[in-house]
Amino acid sequence: MKRRRVGRVATISMHTSPLDQPGTGDAGGMNVYIVEAAKRLAQLGIEVEIFTRQTARDLPPVAEIAPGVSVRHVTAGPYEELDKGDLPGQLCAFLSGVLRTEATYDPGRYDVIHSHYWLSGQVGWLAKERWGVPLVHTMHTMAKVKNLLLAEDDRPEPAARVCGEEQVVEIADRLVANTPTEARELVDLYGAAPGRVEVVNPGVNLTVFQPGSKETSRHRLGLPRDARVLLFVGRVQPLKGPDVLLRAAARLLVEDPSLRGRLVVACVGGPSGNGLARPSYLTDLAVHLGISDVVRIVPPAPQHELADWYRAADVTVVPSHSESFGLVALESQACGTPVAAASVGGLRTAVRDGVSGVLVDGHDPHDWAQVLRRFVREHAWCDTLSAGAVTQAAAFGWSATAARLAEVYAGAMANLHRSPIAVNS
């Protein structure tokens, strides 16, 4: 029997483009995941075509971002950014564009579909049935999980999303979970068949994110050499909990006023999701707390500059209420900076408590202040965690992620066609 090979993957990312700057709008860890995994899959000989919604008139129909990796812009709705809540109304238009693209080629162009986020899963569901290929789906975030762990100012995810996710879970040939915790949530909350759930850890770009001189990074960023730097990186929205960091920092200054001259609280990212309704929230909160003199609000940064922020920090604070994995935590550790993270979701996998950082139960600013006080005062302890952080991050590379994804694709194809499948090498 002729052996089938995984040759080309149709990756679907409807609501956010892999070309967008992470930390803005809806762009975040998922964007990094799609791009980095695609590049490593291409290195394995697997071509990746990424379908995403066109958000500007001057974007080319197809853009190559690396050898073997291309982005296809599909016209669906107005070019300006749409709220994710409005995107379900563009599913038909987006699906039509995806199907029309495939129809211009000979049958069998794609061997597998990999959809990201539930909206893309809906598109993948219909494309799978039209093309006769397996659907692999990655949730990235799940409505039922988010609704169980809502921040105080956050809105619950709508019933339509819950229903859409349930449909995708039922139809997908394989479900990729970032961690064993997420795998259990898929089974327990969504009734996923355990045999169709595969755990594939995301990775980190160990070439970009690596240890370096704290002094040099601080000089490039205009930070004092003797500062104590608390860093938040990510989209500014209630889910990510940046307010927890600011409230904890305010407590630190009340307890130790002498710290005010050296403390820097840097927040790198832009408003997103529910945070778009209050774009000046962090600035206003800093004023309300009386700490605006120590808070720096920094726009989203490209990876090389982000690496400098990690290296310049004494600790990266990740106080998310829900997190499927937490790439920020991994990037920080790869740069040798330990992490203080909420003990939720994938952060329990990304961070080794007491070895590469500290996991904090709950979101009480008092508890976070106690943890951050140690990072500010105990230099030897920080150095020990820094070494552990580098070791922890070294175990996660995108090449390993891509290799596991290739295995998942091959398994899904074998199950669908009942024939041996080979992964390109």
Residue pLDDT, tens place only, 56-108: 888 899 999 999 999 999 998 877 766 667 787 789 999 999 999 999 999 99
Helix segments in 132-197, DSSP class H: 143-148, 159-171, 180-190
User: Scanning the structure block, which residue is given the tokens 């609000």?
Assistant: 297
Q: Are 9 and 47 in contact (CB under 8 A)?
A: yes
> What is the CB neighbour count within 10 angstroms for residue 59?
16
Q: Which residues of 63-100 are buried (b: 16+ CB within 10 A; e: fewer)?
A: bebeebbbbbbbbbeeeebbebeebbebbeebbebbee
pLDDT at 294: 97
pLDDT tens-place string over residues 22-31: 555 555 678 8
What mean pLDDT comes out for the span 252-277? Answer: 86
214 annotated binding-site participant = no
Residues 296-313: what's their mean pLDDT? 94
How high is the pLDDT of residue 84? Answer: 67
The reply to whether 235 sits in an annotated binding site is yes
Is 323 annotated as contributing to ligand binding? yes
Residue pair 337/313 in contact by the 8 Å Cβ criterion: yes
Residue 353 has pLDDT above 70, yes or no: yes
Q: Confirm or deny that 311 is annotated as ligand binding.
A: yes
Annotated binding-site residue? 124: no
Domains, the chain, ordered by start? 8-203+398-417 (3.40.50.2000), 214-395 (3.40.50.2000)
Q: What is the pLDDT of residue 79?
A: 73
Tell whether residue 313 is among the known ligand binding residues.
yes
Is residue 66 a known part of a binding site?
A: no
Question: If we measure between CA atoms, which residue out of 316, 319, 242, 315 comes closest to residue 282?
Answer: 242
Instruction: Judge whether 374 is annotated as a binding position.
Output: no
Q: How far apart are alpha carbons 340 and 351 in whole angstroms?
A: 9
Residue pair 224/218 in contact by the 8 Å Cβ criterion = yes
27 annotated as ligand-binding: yes
Q: Is 240 annotated as a binding residue?
A: yes
pTM equals 0.86
Mean of per-residue pLDDT scores for the chain = 91
Q: What's the CA gap between 42 and 48, in Å, rounded?
A: 7
What is the predicted pLDDT for the residue at 419?
Answer: 45
Q: Is 15 annotated as a binding residue?
A: yes
149, 321 in Cβ contact below 8 A?
yes
- Check the annotation: does 36 bind a ligand: no
The stretch 210-232 carries a mean pLDDT of: 97
Once rounded to an integer, what is the mean pLDDT over residues 222-228?
A: 96
Q: Could you report how far apart the first and last alpha carbons of the chain are, in Å?
A: 20
47-52: average pLDDT? 97
Does the annotation flag 202 for ligand binding? no
Whether 31 has a binding-site annotation, put simply, is yes
Judged by DSSP in three states, 271 sits in strand
Please state, in angstroms and rounded to a whole number, the distance separating the CA atoms of residues 312 and 68. 35
Q: Look at residue 108 in the predicted model and tell me its pLDDT.
A: 92
